[in-house]
Amino acid sequence: MDQYYLNLLVIGGSFVLYIAIALWARAGSTSEFYTAGRGVHPVMNGMATAADWMSAASFISMAGIIAFSGYTASAYLMGWTGGYVLLALCLAPYLRKFGSFTVPEFIGDRYYSRSARLVAVLCLIIASITYVIGQMTGVGVAFSRFLQVSNSTGLFIGAAVVFFYAVLGGMKGITYTQVAQYIVLVFAYTVPAIFISLQLTGNPIPGLGLFSTYEGSGEPLLATLNQVLADLGFASYTDQNTDPSAIINMTLFTLTLMIGTAGLPHVIIRFFTVPKVSDARLSAGWALVFIAIVYLTAPAVGAMARLNIMDTIWPGGTQNAEAIEIDELPVWFDNWETTGLLGIEDKNGDGRLQYYNDAGEPPAGLGVSPLEGNELVLFDRDILVLANPEIAQLPGWVIALVAAGGMAAALSTAAGLLLAISSAVSHDLVKRSINPNISEKAELWWARGAMAAAIAVATWLGLNPPGFAAQTVALAFGIAAATIFPALMMGIFSRSINNVGAVSGMLVGLIFTVVYIFLHKGWFFIPGTESFPDTIQGSLFGIESTAIGCIGAALNFAVAFLVSGATADTPDEVKAMVERVRVPHDGVGTPAE
């Protein structure tokens, strides 16, 4: 069967499955829309949480970042995995016991403040919208390549599918759809990795193949990759950058990812869907198992893909100094060039694809002429996982499976983020702040309407991404780290933080983090100009914008404690509520019951 029709069959089949599940699991009440009626089995919730967690960033981007950055990119693995463990141990069981529907609801009730709830809603919407743009963009990229439609058409198709199962099913429909999406994406990620590991090392387990012997050289795979990169003048794959500022930034970036991911509301609300507090802990454990399957495979995917790319460009090895002729490049080069995500340019007119260090200077002994720059002028890292089966010349059905998996990853996280946004609008703004007497039926209509509006906004932003969102997701993780995470941690583990302290801390964390990121990146705009002059762009002690979220969190904690100590004490009933929430079992009389 032609690859296009095979892609269409597999991707279309997965969409039919998602829509069928949505019809079966349609939400009939606000409880089902917000928390799936709190009746999800822990194992199924673990799968759904894993799908929600492993966004397009995990499925599509992470291996590409690892492939081209090597050791430095391990911060993503440590940060995202550590963040999940932090969430599972320090937040999920206690928030489930509290019994709220949304994260802003917990913050508003714990800090007995409408202002605290509204600030939490603001932080949630900014972080979630920024994050969802990347998911919708990932959908467009996958569609444009595998179904040969324009980016915008692919985005509209993806939005229509999400609209159908998210608006109809709410959390109930999203949960069971995410279970199916997890199964699709985990097979899509691991099956190609198993094939490639067998090809390169003879070991069917990619994580072990990473440390096995590379059959092309008889040397360890990582040692071979390091040697190839050294021959071409690139930085070592496995060595750490020992520059003190690089070490500091990597440490702070890892910490920002940890507390940022632990504070992302679309994952937190997954733990509101299980019947008991003990089930929240159990589903957290299962989710870690399901996440580990992909996260333990990602480093192998990145390293093996990088080696395959080098072998494609230098088929006889770097020692013979004969790069591949451009006319002999494999078909996958042409396939991805048409998407605009990969590009080559024969700058010296020799008919070969010269690719070595970033300066374009040939390493000593390579025997090729200097260039004005590399002839592989564009290789978008996001295409690596999607192109991996083609690079390794795997069967067509594997290529189709990976396409379906990439879309499953993007759609599952997009649905979770959109639900978090719509719940904040319908429950925390409309129900808890504007019209407390609204009927359940009317609230459900507001929830569905807010979801539809959120999908429309996300689609428009995916078509017209603002510069800052297109360039980095630091804003999403930074805001979650600097605002939501500290508010939740202090709300659970400190009786002394009052409403004024919590609001002050969140606002300071929000303003500091957003201003720093925009200032560092030069994204401030004023009428009549493109941006502020470059001279005002800078950093605090050399800290990168991607790593600043944990500093914002530290400021949040400090301000909250200082302001709380200088203002009125927390009411006794709130202190008692905090004590009840911290009891490590399903206690009688708690909100969870």
Which is nearest to 445 in space by CA: 427, 459, 418?
A: 427
- Residue 241 has a pLDDT of 82
Q: Is the per-residue pLDDT at 554 higher than 90?
A: yes
Task: Say what percent of the chain tops pLDDT 70.
Answer: 89
Task: Compute the average pLDDT of residues 85-94.
Answer: 88
Residue 590 is predicted with a pLDDT of: 42
More confident residue, 458 or 109: 109
Compute the residue count for the chain.
Answer: 593
Domains of the chain: 3-304+394-582 (1.20.1730.10)
Task: Quickly tell me which residue has 């949040």 as its tokens.
Answer: 556
pLDDT of res. 363: 62
Instruction: Look up residue 412 and give its amino acid.
Output: S
CA angle 377, 383, 384 (to 5 degrees): 95
Give residue-wise pLDDT tens across range 408-447: 887 888 888 888 888 888 888 888 888 888 888 898 899 8
Tens-digit pLDDT profile for residues 252-289: 999 999 999 899 888 888 888 899 888 888 898 899 89
Q: Does the pLDDT of residue 376 top 90, yes or no?
A: no
Between 470 and 386, name the one with better pLDDT: 386
* Residue found by looking up tokens 């071409």 in the block: 232
Structure tokens at 176: 């069971």
d(CA 547, CA 527): 29
Cβ atoms < 10 Å from Cβ of 367:
12
The whole-number average pLDDT for the span 497-515 is 95
pLDDT tens, position by position, 22-75: 788 888 788 888 888 888 999 999 999 988 878 777 787 788 888 888 888 888
Query: Among residues 384, 377, 374, 522, which one has the least CA distance to residue 69?
Result: 384
Nearest to 182 by CA among 49, 25, 11: 49
- pLDDT of 106 higher than 70: yes
Question: What mean pLDDT is predicted for residues 220-231?
Answer: 89
* Res. 128: pLDDT tops 60: yes
Average pLDDT estimate for 11-15: 87
Lowest mean pLDDT among 267-281, 311-325, 365-379: 365-379
What tens digit of pLDDT does each residue of 142-183 get? 777 677 777 788 888 888 888 887 887 788 888 888 899 899
Residue 352 has pLDDT above 70, yes or no: yes
At 118, the pLDDT band (50, 70, 90 cuts) reads very high
* Cα separation, 407 vs 414, whole angstroms: 10
What mean pLDDT value characterizes the chain?
84
Confidence class of residue 250 from pLDDT cuts 50, 70 and 90? Answer: very high
Could you give the percent of the chain with pLDDT greater than 90?
Answer: 26
Ramachandran angles phi, psi of 91, nearest 5°: -120, -50
Query: In terms of pLDDT, which residue wins out, 581 or 586?
Result: 581
Q: Does the pLDDT of residue 496 top 80, yes or no?
A: yes
Positive or negative: CA dihedral 5, 8, 11, 17 = negative
Mean pLDDT of all residues in 490-506? 95
Secondary structure of 520-573 as H, E, C letters: HHCCCCCCCCCCCCHHHCCCCCCCCHHHCHHHHHHHHHHHHHHHHHHCCCCCHH
